[in-house]
Amino acid sequence: MALLRLLLLGVLPLLCLSASLSDFAQRYGARYGQRSKGRPAPPNIGNHTSDGRRHIRAKLQSRKVNNVTGGAVSTYATSKISGRSPREPLARYGEGIVYMLELDIGTPGQTVSAILDTGSYTLLVDPDCTQAADPQACQTYGYYDTAQSSTARNLNGWFAGQFGTGYMQGVWYSDTAYVGLDNLPLPNLRVGVSKWSQYIWAGVLGVSYGKAWNTAYQTLLDLLVAQSYIEVPIFSVGVGYQGGGSPSDIIFGGVDRKKYRGYLEPLEIYPYPDQQLKKFDQVGYRVNLTSLAVTPPGQNETSLTGNDFERNVLIDSGSTYTYLDGSLVAIIAKILHAYTDDHGVYRVPCESRNLDGSVNFGFNFFNIVIRVNYADFIVDFDTYCALGVQPTDHSDSTWVLGTSFIRAAYLVFDQQNDAVWIAQYLPCGDDGITDLTKDAGRQLWLEITGLC
């Protein structure tokens, strides 16, 4: 559910993907053949406490939403944040699965659950439930009443943002927020307080690039570094399997080594941030996808792309679905026996979630392939199931890797080195968090291997 203007370019001129890998190898040396032998001792593992360990862990909660109705949209002139494409059925049809983070805002703190969105970069919330797109959802997930906070400060500025067909408009405030399991105070956080919204049924916490590229103010991640809660603007995400049964959290300033096995693979942010700013007016977590395949139950893998395939994609935790070109989606739909409903959304028999098949996404020319099992790729809405991939609106639209992909990956979003580090999600216990230091590039390349 990114706040992004992404209608412009779908197929981008692509550079050699080995550049990022060779950069890390040249800087830090070759990786060891064995994943954890003969390696320097890892940094401290544990929560951010007074003993100097520095990371912030926050739990994520999976939320399934049905039948959200649209609200009124104001026509007052505002300063627009930015637009977004492609179409998101979560907003358009009021249905989807997202992952939410709980935080307290104001003094005293008011608890709000916001959608974690790697495709946007600011915090937007409802001030009450009378103007919310869905009053019942607003009551459930909380709202922020500025009049009830002694530390709220009106910044006298308006904003407007487009989320697919969803829309939010309101006023900028500054206030203290409390983040993570330790409820650490974060003063002077910029908060967009909604005055009108359509199809936006909860707050949104954007965790994309902030002041470095996209904003004139410090975002939540920027402030965590500025307040010395964490050392570097890096966070890791493991949302867990669909239906629960595995931990779901975000670690600011750290990596949970008990969520994956082996090395993390660095995916270069591309286009480079300065190029993205020129092309799209903002910078996001864009990387290059280099292969796509399906492994049907009991069969060999069917490749859907050639050896020289490269396509730019946006990793977007605010999107329920993954979006690809219609021709590829049609092939995947045929293999999974999917059909289109009245809205043009591909549905699939729910019993297919029990089959031992996968949709496979490759990066860095087969250096890593993330295999998404049918159980996670097929989105379960209880009364029906939808295919985890849907077609983009246009052939030149940006491709998006949404939560139907993210469930199968452990992801480290690295704004210091302009990379997304990735591994197959594989949880194996607790207490595996390693703090990231200013030498995070070396840590992620050589030292922080998965323990599973």
**Length of the chain in terms of residues written:** 452
Model pLDDT, residue 194: 86
The one-character DSSP state at 443 is: I
Per-residue pLDDT for the chain (452 aa), expressed as one digit of tens each?
554 332 222 333 333 444 456 688 888 888 865 333 333 334 343 444 444 658 999 999 988 876 443 332 222 233 344 444 443 433 333 467 889 999 999 999 999 999 999 999 999 998 887 767 678 888 889 989 999 999 999 999 998 876 655 677 899 999 999 999 888 999 999 999 988 766 567 889 999 999 999 999 999 999 999 999 999 999 999 998 887 767 899 999 999 999 999 999 999 999 999 999 999 989 999 999 999 999 999 999 999 999 999 999 999 998 999 999 999 999 999 999 999 998 888 999 999 999 999 999 999 998 999 999 999 999 998 889 999 999 987 777 889 999 999 999 999 999 999 999 999 999 998 889 999 999 999 999 999 999 99
Place of tokens 């660095």: 266
Distances (CA, A) of 135 to 71, 335, 351, 436: 10, 40, 34, 40
Place of tokens 């990786």: 31
Q: Distance (Å, rounded) from C-alpha 414 to C-alpha 86?
A: 25
Model pLDDT, residue 92: 38
Write out the two tokens for 146. 């500025």
Omega within 30 of 0 (cis) for the link into 86: yes
Q: What is the DSSP track for 76-118?
A: ----B-----S--HHHHSS-EEEEEEEEEETTTTEEEEEEEET
C-alpha 276 chain-centroid distance: 18
Q: Distance (Å, rounded) from C-alpha 85 to C-alpha 286?
A: 14
Name the strands in the sheet holding 385-386, side by side, starting at the edge strand that comes first in the sequence. 339-340, 346-347, 385-386, 379-380
The one-character DSSP state at 354 is: G
